Amino acid sequence: MPSGVPFTGDAPASHPLRPLAGWYARRRRLIYPALVCIIYAIWAAYMSFSNSWGLFREYWPASLTMVLGSFVAGATAEGGGAVAFPVFTKVLHLAPTDARTFSLMIQSFGMGMASLFIITRKIRILPRVVAWVSLGGVLGHVLGTYWVQVPNPYPKVLFTFVTTAFGCALFLSTYIHKWKPLPSMPGWGPRYRLLFFALGILGGTFAAQVGSGIDVITFMVLTLAFGVDERVSTPTTVIIMAINSWVGFFLHGVISRDIGPMWNYWLVAVEVVIIGAPLGAFIVSKANRYFVINFILTLISLELVTTLWLVPIRNTPEILATLSALAFCALAFWLMLRYRRRTNAEALMRPAP
């Protein structure tokens, strides 16, 4: 070894992982299309041998719904369940538990493939946020599946008003305060680990009820409290939701075994989402920041209108629950915006290096 060169272990040329790293660097862009071809081949073979092509005649609304739902899953922080859950419960009149289970099943593949696309194309994410939110999300999803049960119609109503309150806060942050977004977290430490682990527990519990939510909650905190650019926050939350969907799919498919007829809906939609979700992730990585924000606000507005139209809120408990959710969200978002305003002021007061 030449003098002056510190010894760090194996010589670079002889490191056992170097050939694998070189192979990945040369072929990483081929991994996603290759896996798509494999999934399509397996899916088509199963549909043919089981004589299941006729399912499209009865369950075609699921395929049509996930054309938009898969794009939303990859392009926004709302997940495919943000489209599937309201359509299945409000239009197709399925039980919220079935809509939830379908959302988790379909996101496991759609957002899973979008996550693979994000990683292999080196789209910017926040890995530490992904890790700590996902750890909390596992615990939260187990709690939400087996111990925390929200009766109908509260899951639909709460989902709508949480996203609506977020839309209002996002609009204020973007178009009123006009704060400059950050490419990453402004810092990291034990308190951030605890914060994002707790967010994972809360979001995982919520996702166990409606099929999404951990992504929305994480996106809210990243953009409103820390000012992270939506084009970085979005792919970060796509991966988080994919991981949490795998947890939910495992719990319902292997542990509880309560998927039932949702398999048929899944079979006619899975071939759509493995293309649509990565397409959404690709477009949002190239799009203007304001395009992403306006697209999210449009979806939130449609969700609010359809809920007010299709889900009656008449009795006193439902009204009180709705008002309480709105008040809690308003307080939480006000605190996040206040924290961001304070940190921005502190940054402006620091002397230039």
Residue 9, domain member (yes or no): no
Q: Specify the pLDDT at position 138.
A: 96
Q: Total structural domains in the chain?
A: 1
Residues 216 and 166: their CA atoms lie apart, in Å, by 9
Residue 77, domain member (yes or no): yes
Q: Specify the pLDDT at position 346.
A: 60
- Token pair 């899953």 is at which residue? 73
- pLDDT tens, residue by residue, 215-226: 888 988 898 888
Residue 4, domain member (yes or no): no
Residue 14, domain member (yes or no): no
The secondary structure element, H or E, covering residue 61 is helix 55-75
Which residues, in sequence order, are CB contacts of 39 under 8 Å at separation 6+? 109, 270, 274
Residue 22, domain member (yes or no): no
Residue 281, domain member (yes or no): yes
Residue 23, domain member (yes or no): no
Q: Specify the pLDDT at position 353.
A: 39
Residue 10, domain member (yes or no): no
Check: CB of residue 211 under 8 Å from CB of residue 79.
yes
Q: Specify the pLDDT at position 136.
A: 96
Strand partners, 228: 182
Smallest CA-to-CA distance from 81 within 171, 214, 197 is with 214
Residues of the chain with pLDDT below 50 are 1-14, 351-353
DSSP 3-state percent helix, strand, coil across the chain (nearest 5):
80, 0, 20
- pLDDT tens, residue by residue, 275-296: 888 888 788 777 777 887 788 7
**Predicted TM-score of the model (pTM):** 0.82
Residues of the domain holding 296: 31-345
